[in-house]
Amino acid sequence: MEKHGPVSRGAIFVLMGAVLWGTTGTSQALAPEGATPMAVGALRIVIGGGALLILALLRGSFAGGGKWPLLPTAVAILATAAYQPLFFTGVAMTGVAVGTLITLASCPVITGVLGYFFFRERPSGRWYISSVLALAGCALLTLSGGGAEAADPAGMFFSLGAGFSYSVFVLGSKRLLRDRGADAVNGLVFSAAGLILLPALAASPPLWLLQPEGVLVAAHLGLIATALAYYLFLKGLTTIPASTGVTLTTAEPLTASLLGVFLLGERLSAAGAAGAAMLFLGLGLLASGQREEG
């Protein structure tokens, strides 16, 4: 392994992707009336998957490389498609705070365990410390709004399923990145997941796209918060362990909270501010200790 500066490029790319994911909540809040979370989630994958597929085709990313391994390809696609309904169902049943927290808190643990068994990635001591800081900060930040009372057990199960599906997506994509570039992996996985989610759009037609603000929101969610964000995430994942990549994505709620304060006029409590500080410290500690693979 060779170190490239105080913070690896892979960690920076993953953090940039997580920051873009953090804009989705603000975008949905600015969407026209009638934009349901499920429809928005499906639409962003359909648009983002189409854009990533076009990019991969234009860059000739599918040329060469041999056959795609069936199992990792299938699980990455299915996990990407499954995340949207699992996450939004969990949030609807438990509340935004609890649902989001369970999903985010379970991802690093699940990814760390599965990454060890399937890739022999042994997390460093720094990862344990930074993950504890990041997850504790995430808990304070997420629950500071007072949404912890609606803890439906079934909803918690759906949220845990969302965390598991995201972890499986990361690990499946990590395996595909051994033989293929990030462009090809993104293009295939997300376009296929978009096809799977098309029935969700048919069941709830996004008529709000007829409004100019709806087009802008959909374009941002699909092209920026999905296509560009996942392009950066997988580009970074090629050089850092999967467990590290997932922990770094806890920058998403930090970004969402800051945007809520500065753009939507929300207030950040003392507990939320403390959580943001802990989260920032944990992410900084983890990012600064990463080394590029290779």
Give the DSSP letter string of 191-244: HHHHHHHHHHHHHS--GGGGSHHHHHHHHIIIIIIIIIHHHHHHHHHTTS-HHH
Lowest-confidence region among 145-154, 236-245, 261-270:
145-154
Q: Which residues contact 120 (CB under 8 A, 6 or more apart)?
A: none
Neighbours of 128 (CB within 10 A): 14
> Is 137 part of any domain?
yes
> Is 98 part of any domain?
yes
Q: Which amino acid is located at 103 in the chain?
A: T
Span 256-272, average pLDDT: 75
> Is 293 part of any domain?
no
> Is 294 part of any domain?
no
> Is 145 part of any domain?
yes
**Residues 201-236: pLDDT tens digits?**
888 888 889 899 999 999 999 999 999 999 999 999
Could you give the CA distance from residue 104 to residue 55 in angstroms, rounded to a whole number? 29
Q: Which residues contact 183 (CB under 8 A, 6 or more apart)?
A: 52, 55, 56, 59, 61, 231
Please provide the average confidence, as pLDDT, over all residues in the chain: 83
> Is 6 part of any domain?
no
| Owning domain of residue 107 | 12-288
Domain total for the chain?
1
Length of the chain: 294
